[in-house]
């Protein structure tokens, strides 16, 4: 405790240390920069054809002292992995990230250092090594690239000593020159990557902040609208004609409902926009109470929609999370489901949206299933990403990202099963809080 307190005091005194901590430890790791299936496929195909092309160039057209066909074939095949659908269809999952990292580590620092040593550090391979460093920092997080460059070249050097052909070493008088060129390439790559990582984070943060401000700004006219509703209600009381009074009362009620619904929406959007800075706070939450509370308080656009929601409590459980945030998770999921039912032109039969609470294998489950439009299988892997939305026109694509963030911070997981036109089932699994 004391040591950690001291550490924090020292941290506070040193802006440089603080900055380092922020960049090195706190910034989220991005193993694949600008991930998209298309980019992954393209990178894979470049590796595949590039290795073939350069194997021919360096051995036939512009022969170099050392070139290895088996190595080139192996490297080419590695590129094929990235072109498989299993890896590139969801660049966000763990497996894709690991495979991507491994492929590029082997392709770039390991293979290139081997070739550089094999050619005794000639002009071609000095230039290629410099290009390799720049490329590496363009495809992955700067922390991974730095670690990869160091470990990859050391491994290649050790392997080369052990298994490599016997070739003259890099000329002694050239070593300093090479060191300067590498240092230059490496420092520029590091700097560029670091600054663009910052830029990306700032953009996301500022977009989210803008949404928060917008939502906040809407509240002021809304509170005026609520007062207008009150004024109409008072006017109704002053009316002597009962039918007119009733009519005015109805208008006032409509206005109030509208204001309440919009405020609810704003709360939800503000919560979603805090995606990057969710307060860490946990309390014991009863799943059944949470579900009942949210279902009762949800501002349904129509009574049909309210009546189509069916809650089934098989077995209640408690978990540790922020109750407010979790209510907003359920709000988001209900909103999506109702939206999807509307898109499917549903007549809202009872149970068109089912919310079940139960236990399975020592874990608590909250399951929301709807008979709505469903989600196309191709889109499924991406729906939890910020700013991904299946309906570009109306959604900003933060809702599910928020849900995932909150569920994960409670130690749980959220999954979706769906296909086009067959509805969707969202399953939240949570660790049960010990008594």
Residues of this chain that bind another protein (CB under 8 A)? 216, 219-224, 226-228, 230-231, 234, 256, 259-260, 263
**Cα–Cα distance for residue pair 420/366, rounded to 1 Å:** 22
Q: Which is nearer to another protein, 80 or 218 (CB)?
A: 218
At residue 320, φ and ψ (nearest 5 deg) are -105, 120
Q: Which is nearer to another protein, 235 or 316 (CB)?
A: 235
Minimum separation from the CB atom of position 252 to another protein (A) = 11
Pairing assessment for the beta strands 353-360 and 318-321 based on DSSP bridges: unpaired
At residue 79, φ and ψ (nearest 5 deg) are -60, -35
Minimum separation from the CB atom of position 230 to another protein (A) = 4
Q: Which is nearer to another protein, 37 or 233 (CB)?
A: 233
**Cα–Cα distance for residue pair 367/353, rounded to 1 Å:** 10
* H-run or E-run covering 412: none
Q: Which is nearer to another protein, 262 or 334 (CB)?
A: 262
Minimum separation from the CB atom of position 260 to another protein (A) = 6
At residue 424, φ and ψ (nearest 5 deg) are -140, 150
Minimum separation from the CB atom of position 269 to another protein (A) = 13
Minimum separation from the CB atom of position 237 to another protein (A) = 11
Q: Kindly write down the DSSP assignment for every residue of 49-97, as one continuous string.
A: HHHHHHHHIIIIIS--S---HHHHHHHHHHHHHHHSHHHHT-TTSHHHH
Q: Which is nearer to another protein, 28 or 279 (CB)?
A: 279
Q: Which is nearer to another protein, 34 or 216 (CB)?
A: 216
Within 8 A by CB and 6+ apart from 140, the residues are: 30, 31, 32, 33, 100, 101, 104, 148
Q: How many CB atoms lie within 10 A of CB 129?
A: 22
Q: Which is nearer to another protein, 63 or 221 (CB)?
A: 221
Lookup result for tokens 């360096």: 58
Distances from the Cα of 47 to the Cαs of 55, 78, 90, 146, in angstroms?
Answer: 12, 8, 20, 21
In Å, how far from its chain's centre is CA 9? Answer: 33
Minimum separation from the CB atom of position 256 to another protein (A) = 7
């Amino acid at each position: 405790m004391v040591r950690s307190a001291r550490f924090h005091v020292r941290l506070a005194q040193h802006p440089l240390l603080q900055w380092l901590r922020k960049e090195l430890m706190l910034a989220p790791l991005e193993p694949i920069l600008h991930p998209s299936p298309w980019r992954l496929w393209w990178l894979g195909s470049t590796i595949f054809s590039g290795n073939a092309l350069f194997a021919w160039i360096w051995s036939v057209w512009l022969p170099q002292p050392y070139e290895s066909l088996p190595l080139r074939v192996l490297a080419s095949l590695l590129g094929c992995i990235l072109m498989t659908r299993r890896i590139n269809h969801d660049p966000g999952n763990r497996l894709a990230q690991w495979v991507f990292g491994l492929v590029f580590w082997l392709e770039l620092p390991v293979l290139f250092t081997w070739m550089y040593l094999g050619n005794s550090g000639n002009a071609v391979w000095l230039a290629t090594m410099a290009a390799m460093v720049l490329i590496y920092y363009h495809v992955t997080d700067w922390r991974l690239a730095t670690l990869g460059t160091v470990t990859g070249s050391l491994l290649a050097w050790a392997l080369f000593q052990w298994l490599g052909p016997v070739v003259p070493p890099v000329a002694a008088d050239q070593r300093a020159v090479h060191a300067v060129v590498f240092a230059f390439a490496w420092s520029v790559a590091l700097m560029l990557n670091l600054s663009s990582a910052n830029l990306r984070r700032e953009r996301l943060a500022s977009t989210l902040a803008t949404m928060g401000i917008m939502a906040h700004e809407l509240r002021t006219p809304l509170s005026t609208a609520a007062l207008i509703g009150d004024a109409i209600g008072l006017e109704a009381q002053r009316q002597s004609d009962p039918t007119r009074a009733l009519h005015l009362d109805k208008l006032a009620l409509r206005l109030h409902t509208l204001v309440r619904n919009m405020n609810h929406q704003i709360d939800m959007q503000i919560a979603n926009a805090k995606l990057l800075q969710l307060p860490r706070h946990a309390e014991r939450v009863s799943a059944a109470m949470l579900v009942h509370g949210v279902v009762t308080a949800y501002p349904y656009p129509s009574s049909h929609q309210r009546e189509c929601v069916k809650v089934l409590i098989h077995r209640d459980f408690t978990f540790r999370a922020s109750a407010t945030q979790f209510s907003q998770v359920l709000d988001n999921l209900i909103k999506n489901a109702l939206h999807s039912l509307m898109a499917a032109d549903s007549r809202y039969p009872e149970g068109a949206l089912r919310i079940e609470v139960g236990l399975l294998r020592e874990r608590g489950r909250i399951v929301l299933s709807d008979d709505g439009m469903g989600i196309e299988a191709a889109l499924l892997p991406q729906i939890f990403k910020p700013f991904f939305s299946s309906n570009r026109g109306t959604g900003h694509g933060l809702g599910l990202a928020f849900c995932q963030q909150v569920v994960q911070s409670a130690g749980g997981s959220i999954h979706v099963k769906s296909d086009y036109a067959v509805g969707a089932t969202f399953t939240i699994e949570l660790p049960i809080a010990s008594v």
